[in-house]
Copies of this chain bind each other. A is one copy, B any other.
Amino acid sequence: MTLSPWRPARRAERMNPSVIREILKVTERPGILSMAGGLPSPLSFPVEAMREASERVLRDHPQAALQYAASEGYAPLREWVAEHLRGQGIEAGPDQVLITTGSQQGLDLIAKVLVDAGVPVAVETPTYLGALQAFSPCEPAFVSVAGDADGPRAEALEALRHDAPGCRFFYVLPNFQNPTGRMISEARRAALVAAAQRAGVPLVEDNPYGDLWYDAPPPASLTSRWPEGSLYLGSFSKVLAPGLRLGYLVAPRALYPKLLQAKQAADLHTSGFNQRLVAEVLRDGFLDRHTPTIRARYRLQRDAMQAALQRSLPPGSEWDEPRGGMFFWVRLPEGCDAAELLDTAVTQGIAYVPGAAFYAHAPDRRTLRLSFVTLSAQEIDDGVAVLGRVAREHLDQLGEPTP
């Protein structure tokens, strides 16, 4: 296959087919019980509210909804976001809110405005694969910040001052992180913000899962602790529906104009119809009634998976029960490579995502990600039982002397 007369950019050579994309294709095969997806449960979509809102928008303001619109976003939606965040301790005006085409686009805009080729950008280890993909076109030098069960370690962040001078930002998912499900503790948040300030490294706080807590609301955001040093990303994908592609970015006023210019160049503006649709759905405190129904649903599934893992995984397996979100992060016993076991697992009818894809460097090959939100308790039980069997059989083979 020849590319002539085309000459791809240097960055294009570093773009790769997403491993997860390939794995998700497998999960579309009939009969596969998939714990690989990153999709919310379609049963959580407020279809009736969407239907009514769509009717109202197309009845009352069809021409405005279908016309070109402001790059900043639809004013009532920006106001809703500012108000919603105020409830979470973030003081930001509607003029600091930029509506994006999913929060994935926010990552793309941030990279364009802040990342030069070769400059350090710090990420958690592991981290959200889509962020690595969104930042990559700007060719940063990724630096991994090591962590533990409470979150990234503050000393590792502070060490960037010497180890990665000029680091443009630290990208962090504080709540029920994708892929690990880990929530950063209150004490660790305080320590991280202090470390970031001392190191002069601003924060990009990505919070798509924060409203999906099952035991207690998470501690206050990083942004509320250091507003002028934080960019905040939010999304409607997990609490309403991802198919509308609606997210938002909250920026310090000094940085906002550049992000807006990048947004305008990227797609002019996010669909005004979708913005009005969601603004209409959100009226009168809709989320205050809707989000608890999602929490109740997912909590039962989380509990089912916790029980199933305890029942079915071989000794030496490690995981923490997530306090929210959509994922368990499992570390199989020594001798297991989750990517190598996947073929067998698929043959036996289940799928998951091997953890290696989520690391910028030095992947832990024993890890894997399991989603619990699109399966019934029975399916979770069955799926985890197969995973346990696959791991046990592999360990048994390891243990047997070669004939």
Contact = CB atoms under 8 A, between A and B. Distances in A.
Interface string A111-143: 011111101000000000010011011100000
A289 interface: no
A112 B255 contact: no
A267 B252 CA distance: 23
Nearest to A65: B243
Interface in A68-121: 68-69, 71, 101-102, 104-105, 108, 112-117, 119
A42 B62 CA distance: 9
A312 interface: no
Contact of A271 (B10, B112, B245): B245
> Which range contains the number of A residues in contact with the other chain?
35 or more
Interface string A56-67: 001100111111
Interface string A1-44: 11111111111100111100100000000000000001110110
A268 interface: yes
Contacts of A112: 9, 11-12, 137
A67 B245 CA distance: 10
Interface in A233-283: 237, 241-245, 252-255, 257-258, 261-262, 264-274
A113 B9 contact: yes
Contact of A108 (B68, B202, B267, B272): B267
Nearest to A42: B63
Interface in A174-214: 197, 200-202
B114 A7 contact: yes
Given A54-B58, A229-B5, A133 B265 contact: yes
A297 to B, nearest CB: 14
Given A265-B130, A265-B134, A114 B8 contact: yes
A363 interface: no
A343 interface: no
Nearest to A106: B267
Given A7-B114, A138-B9, A274-B271, A2 B254 contact: yes
Given A130-B265, A245-B271, 15 more contacts: A2-B254, A9-B119, A9-B168, A10-B116, A15-B113, A17-B261, A45-B62, A47-B63, A54-B55, A102-B267, A105-B267, A108-B266, A108-B267, A244-B271, A245-B270
Interface of A: 1-12, 15-18, 21, 38-40, 42-43, 45, 47, 50-51, 54-55, 58-59, 62-69, 71, 101-102, 104-105, 108, 112-117, 119, 130, 133-134, 136-138, 166, 168, 197, 200-202, 228-229, 237, 241-245, 252-255, 257-258, 261-262, 264-274
